[in-house]
Structure 1
Amino acid sequence: MRPPPAESRAMRWLRGDAQDRTRFADMYLRFRRPYVFGGAVSVAKVVGVPWFGLPLVALFLAGGLTMVGAVVVQRRLRRPSEPVVAAAVLLLQLNLAVVVLLTGGATSPYLVLLTIPLFSQAVCFRPPVLATGAALTFLFAGLAVLFADTLPAVPAAPSTVGLVAFGTVLLCLTTAARYLASADLHSRDGAVLDPMTGLYNRLTLADRFVQAQEREAATGGSLALVMCDVDHFKSVNDTYGHARGDAVLQELADRLRTGLRSTDVAYRIGGEEFVVLLPGRDAAGAQRVAERMRAAVADTPVAGLRVTVSAGAVSAPAAQASLPELLWAADAALYAAKDAGRNRVVTGVPGQRLVIPPHPAAAHPLLVPPLT
């Protein structure tokens, strides 16, 4: 198995650990207000054009192109990318700093707008990245104010321009604060993380599936699932004790996350069973991910023990995908893999049942037979 490419130190700092990356993907997928920020800032710039002239029009267009470019790149990548979002935020901060520079520096009605890019950082990024963004904002503001004194004086804009800018900040701040508050309540009420492994638990899978489905269906993409299960896990508990079994599950969870994209989210759905949601993957892509996970476990002892996993992979067009049917097909493929000798991957097809040993679907809270 080829190991995933090593990340640079800067990339590791930006992306953080696996839990930070999962949070970024989750927050990015759930946060649907970046256009509110961009639209509000654009309106504030346009209001000042009669007093500050064509440079403000050019900066308005540059800011719009930055946001559109970030969206296009994200769609081509088919996943939210921390570097793309961070670069877009940095460019928007620079854009606003130039606006402040050309509209009066310390007296510019747009000085307060420099805080707005921080709101998106607060939503998506971990605290060290946010702190760095705040420091850069202060630096850009300081440079804009200092160098504005060296430029010719600009006409004073009426107080309405400053009032519009202040209202823009209030709108964006309220939008970000409401989202963060609702996301925090959702997380606490849903108990989203499995305390043993740090993975999302089964209660969050349906919600995340709907969000991923909406995004992929809009671009004609696919949704895939991989369901895997530790082979002979009962023997591990019986022979080495439950503490050793817990250690196996914890290390296994870390390995399952290795090599996943930021949108490929792993869940522990019960016992020794795990599911990985793979937005944008077709059946072949899901098979490759499942095989990579299987090899990552089989190639090296887990918590000092030789263990293996069996996996079932399945994919469907996002517009037609159904979580119960995908789970059913992935579960059927998983049991076919076990019946074929374990330590292998089988690919299933939604709506087509594989010949597998019977087992009670009702025993699993997420699995129900697909409707026919």
Structure 2
Amino acid sequence: MRWLRGGARDRTRFADMCLRFRRPYVFGGAVTVAKLAGVPWVGLPLVLLLVAGGLTMAGGVLLQRRLRRPSEPVVAATFVLLQLNLAVVVLLTGGATSPYLVLLTIPLFSQAVCFRPPVLVTGAALTFLFAGLAVLAADALPAVPPLPGPVGLVALAAVLTCLTVAARYLASADLHSRDEAVLDPMTGLYNRLTLADRFTQAQEEAADDGGSLALVMCDVDHFKSINDTHGHDRGDQVLIELARRLRRSLRAGDVAFRVGGEEFVVLLPGRDGAAAVQIAERMRLAVSAEPLAGLPVTISSGVVVATGGDGTLGGLLRSCDAALYAAKAAGRDRVVAAAPSSAGPDRPLPAPRPVTLGSAG
């Protein structure tokens, strides 16, 4: 069982992929149609194998639901039984000439998304073993009249259908996983994990052309009271609508990130101090102009600018945070610019400028 399940990461991936992949009926249906196409020529044995395969798949699905968690042994046992079933079908329909030989690939690639590589390789070896035994055993049986060509086409269509579904699923799951890794699921903004990479790129560009970059850190004023008074669902709606307004206030090259509960950071490549403050003020006015989720909402912002390759992300964020704190202390609903600095991890934070924009909240 330890070999089958692997480590904690393998078990987590298996459970995640099984929960995402909820269309086993597509694969079972394709195999069923292919088997039905041969019933007029093979007769009762194929019907019995068809019923047995359906019961095997249904039993595996029902057992998984009762366990409430995807189980590697259940999935593996279902896979082996289905492969044995198909091997017997191949045995009874001509062995090496059976149009059903290609169906043995369907259970294999349908499980490729779930199991770790050593288990998948073992599954491929078992599939080859079952197919080989079926072909060799068929040679010892009386010759079977070849099935009509359309039966083979139906079997091929079943394989192509399942392969297309599996490929499409893998592609969409990969894109979804990438989105989950870089995007905040609620607001659709980039998350904190991507801020460092984007900052590094912007800083390298600024160092190359001698330009500057700016960071704006903004925070929803009195957000705790919104949650306490109107509930967390209403608070979430406020953040979702706030994210939309922030995006509408930015140009294509500017990037907004959600870095905390109600805290956002905006990266402004190529912006100097005056331009950054102007953008921060535009964001503040966009938020306060109309209610968010039916509530009057304001934000406070801190702005910091670095020239060329000066500064570090950690130091600049601390400068932003200090300026944001000053905006809160000065009455909220305003923008405060930090003094220009190249503060790094070991440098003290600069004092915010006393000049503020906006009105007291």
Instruction: Give the TM-score, by structure 2 length.
Output: 0.52
From 160, 168, 190, the equivalent of 2:158 is 168
Q: Does 1:180 align with 2:173?
A: no
Correspondence list, 1:71-90, <5 A: 71-90=61-80
* Corresponding residue for residue 6 of structure 1: none
Q: Secondary structure at the match of 1:92?
A: helix
* Corresponding residue for residue 155 of structure 1: 145
Q: Secondary structure at the match of 1:122?
A: coil
Q: 1:189, CA displacement in angstroms?
A: 3.1
How many percent of aligned residue pairs carry the same amino acid?
A: 77
- Structure 1 residues 206 and 155 mapped into 2: Cα distance closer, same or farther (>3 Å)? farther
* Corresponding residue for residue 121 of structure 1: 111
Aligned length: 201
* Corresponding residue for residue 99 of structure 1: 89
Q: 1:79, CA displacement in angstroms?
A: 1.3
CA distance in 2, matches of 1:121, 1:206: 33
Q: Secondary structure at the match of 1:87?
A: helix
Q: Secondary structure at the match of 1:48?
A: helix
Render the CA deviation track for 1:41-69: whole Å, top value 9, x for unaligned: 00100110011111000000000000110
- What letter matches 1:75 in structure 2? R
CA distance in 2, matches of 1:206, 1:118: 38
Q: Secondary structure at the match of 1:124?
A: coil
Render the CA deviation track for 1:83-134: whole Å, top value 9, x for unaligned: 1011101100000000000110001010000111111221211111111111
After superposing on structure 2, the runs of 4+ consecutive aligned residues of structure 1 that deviate more than 2 Å are: 202-207, 360-365
Q: 1:203, CA displacement in angstroms?
A: 4.4
* Corresponding residue for residue 23 of structure 1: 13
CA distance in 1, matches of 2:59, 2:25: 13
- Structure 1 residues 119 and 188 mapped into 2: Cα distance closer, same or farther (>3 Å)? same
* Corresponding residue for residue 302 of structure 1: none
CA distance in 2, matches of 1:186, 1:53: 45
- What letter matches 1:97 in structure 2? A
Correspondence list, 1:1-372, <5 A: 11-191=1-181, 203=184, 362=262
CA distance in 2, matches of 1:118, 1:42: 16
Q: Secondary structure at the match of 2:162?
A: helix
Q: 1:35, CA displacement in angstroms?
A: 0.6
- What letter matches 1:149 in structure 2? D
CA distance in 2, matches of 1:59, 1:76: 26
Q: Contact 1:33 / 1:175 at 8 angstroms: preserved in 2? A: no
- Structure 1 residues 203 and 113 mapped into 2: Cα distance closer, same or farther (>3 Å)? same
Q: 1:362, CA displacement in angstroms?
A: 4.0
Which has the larger Rg? Answer: 2
Q: 1:363, CA displacement in angstroms?
A: 5.9
CA distance in 2, matches of 1:118, 1:43: 18
Q: Secondary structure at the match of 2:140?
A: coil
Q: Contact 1:41 / 1:113 at 8 angstroms: preserved in 2? A: yes
Q: Secondary structure at the match of 1:123?
A: coil
CA distance in 1, matches of 2:104, 2:187: 38
Unaligned runs of 5+ in 2: 189-231, 237-259, 266-361
Q: Secondary structure at the match of 2:112?
A: helix
Q: Secondary structure at the match of 2:78?
A: helix
Q: Contact 1:112 / 1:166 at 8 angstroms: preserved in 2? A: yes
* Corresponding residue for residue 7 of structure 1: none
- Structure 1 residues 23 and 113 mapped into 2: Cα distance closer, same or farther (>3 Å)? same
Q: Contact 1:52 / 1:103 at 8 angstroms: preserved in 2? A: yes
Render the CA deviation track for 1:152-195: whole Å, top value 9, x for unaligned: 22222110000000111101111111111111122223317xxx
Q: 1:14, CA displacement in angstroms?
A: 1.0
Greater shift, 146-155 or 104-113, is seen at 146-155
* Corresponding residue for residue 295 of structure 1: none
- Structure 1 residues 61 and 364 mapped into 2: Cα distance closer, same or farther (>3 Å)? farther
Q: Secondary structure at the match of 2:143?
A: coil
- Structure 1 residues 51 and 206 mapped into 2: Cα distance closer, same or farther (>3 Å)? farther
- What letter matches 1:151 in structure 2? L
CA distance in 1, matches of 2:261, 2:170: 37
User: Which structure carries more relative contact order (alpha carbon 8 Å, separation 6+)?
Assistant: 1
Q: Secondary structure at the match of 2:22?
A: coil
CA distance in 2, matches of 1:62, 1:206: 48
